[in-house]
Amino acid sequence: MAHRTLPEIWRTLGHIDAVHGLYYLCLHGVFGVWDGGLVALRLPSVLAVAAGAAGIALLGRRLAGPRAGLLAGLVFPLIPAVQRYAQEGRSYALVCALVIWTTWLLVSAVDRPRGRRWAAYAGVILTACLLHEFALLTLVAHGVSVFRSGPARAVARGWGAAAGVVVAGTLPLAVFSTTQASQVDWIGAPGARTVLGFAAVVLVGLVCARTPPRAAHAAPPMRPGTLALPLLILPTALLMALTPLRALYVERYVLSYTGALALLLGVALDGVWRRSRDGGRRARPAGYAVAAGAGLLAVLTLVPVGTHLRTPQSRQNDAAAVARAVRQSARPGDGLVFTPARRRVWTLARPEEFRGLFDLALDRSPVASDTLHGTELPPGAVRARMLAARRIVVVHDVAGEPLDAADREYVKRATLRAAFEPCATRRVTRAQITLYARPGAC
């Protein structure tokens, strides 16, 4: 998408992925300056996580002292979800960093309510919402934090005006993206493991919030728990609560919870440190033991997870590996079928690996059709092309994934069952590559 021209990107957004339009435009600019392949694609996410860590450190410093800020900033990039999206060419790390800095601007505006501070707050959070509209949930969390802190009238008025600007600026994108709601039909209800994981994170946050911050010379405008707990809990809880109406919860959509968690953990670790230093000789060994135990537990938990996240096996959709597997399974002139059709997107990472293969269902390519997956021929034409082939390499989902009910997808599956036999198959992350041939031609 980033390598398409601006008119091509604009036309594509009219069909699909409007919610990611600003990110595509940003990456188009990055590649215009430096076409550095995967490094250029991932560099904005890496820089965003670095910026997010700096923002968390400044928040911790302002609300609980320098050491709490330093610890919070160090904890943030250790959180597995942060490590994952620091490595991926997606918008979520950027959104997370913007939410963190928006939160810092909120604290600044609450401390000294001035028009330019509220304008900066509104501008940054609006940018986050245009990168991904679910960042709008941050406003709910911030509103709770502001009114829990017992705001002055100027603060309430300033936050209300900023929130109104952000909602008005995001509303056109939100309304238009509802016309593309079928894109998220793949999202299912959160399972028991997901809900229990969220409950565990909330419990950790509540325990950490009980740690009193270090006394400061100037009283902070908010307590760390007042600021962080709503951001930790509300965006995730609201998306989960919407599940009976529409399943929309995916962890990366609310990645900013990690900033709140890091802030609370930094304040709690600072509290452990202070108790170990100030509790007297008899209390000091116990405090050191608690701190050492917590550090050891974090290392034992996070290091294996972080190491796994740096391997190709951690990726659910490794497009480069799929392309290599197709090339190893095929001969020049073989047919190629994607089922469901949206799996054609895997070809875009390494198009050279598919040269010499005949995409039997394709009508117009993704670029020519201003789509992500291309457009396909009518079911009858797809069946005729498949029956004219001797060998077909099929790229499809692994067993257990729901089958697409579209007529074209049914024809693909029915034709393979009736006229071909499977010769070999291999799984690559969440893709299955199967070679089919006419009976006796394997």
Q: How confident is the model at residue 282, as a pLDDT?
A: 47
Task: Round to whole Å and give the CA distance between 355 and 342.
Answer: 19
The DSSP result for 304-340, as a single string, is HHHHHHTSGGG-S--HHHHHHHHHHH--TT-EEEEES
pLDDT at residue 300 greater than cutoff 60: no
Least confident stretch, 19-33, 154-168, 297-311, 401-415: 297-311
Least confident stretch, 63-67, 287-291, 437-441: 287-291
Tell me which H or E stretch contains 55.
Answer: helix 37-64
Residue 249 φ/ψ, nearest 5 degrees: -80, 120
- Percentages helix, strand, coil for the chain (3-state, rounded to 5) are 65, 10, 25
Contact status, residue 258 vs residue 81, Cβ threshold 8 Å: yes
Average pLDDT, integer, range 94-113 = 96
**Percent of the chain surpassing pLDDT 90:** 66
- Pick from 153, 28, 44: nearest CA to 97: 44
pLDDT in tens, 186-225: 898 999 999 999 999 999 899 888 877 765 555 678 899 9
Task: Round to whole Å and give the CA distance between 336 and 408.
Answer: 15
Helices (H) and strands (E) in the chain, counts: 16, 7
391-397/431-437 β-pairing = antiparallel
The H-assigned helical ranges of 65-152 are: 66-75, 80-86, 92-111, 115-131, 137-148
Where does the pLDDT of residue 278 fall: very low under 50, low under 70, confident under 90, or very high at 90 and above?
low
391-397/335-339 β-pairing = parallel
Average pLDDT, the chain: 89
Query: What contacts 24+ positions apart, CB below 8 Å, involve 403-410?
Result: 404/339, 404/340, 404/341, 406/340, 407/379, 408/341, 408/361, 408/376, 408/378, 408/379, 408/382, 409/339, 409/340, 409/341, 410/379
- The length of the chain, given as a count of residues: 442
Q: How confident is the model at residue 216, as a pLDDT?
A: 53
Query: What is the value of pTM for the model shown?
Result: 0.88
Contact status, residue 262 vs residue 96, Cβ threshold 8 Å: no
pLDDT in tens, 320-361: 888 888 988 888 899 999 999 989 988 887 888 888 899 999
CB-based contacts of 105, cutoff 8 Å, min separation 6: 117, 120, 121, 124
Query: What contacts 24+ positions apart, CB below 8 Å, involve 149-157?
Result: 149/110, 149/221, 149/222, 149/223, 149/226, 151/110, 152/113, 154/113, 155/109, 155/110, 155/113
Q: How confident is the model at residue 283, as a pLDDT?
A: 47
pLDDT at residue 292 greater than cutoff 80: no
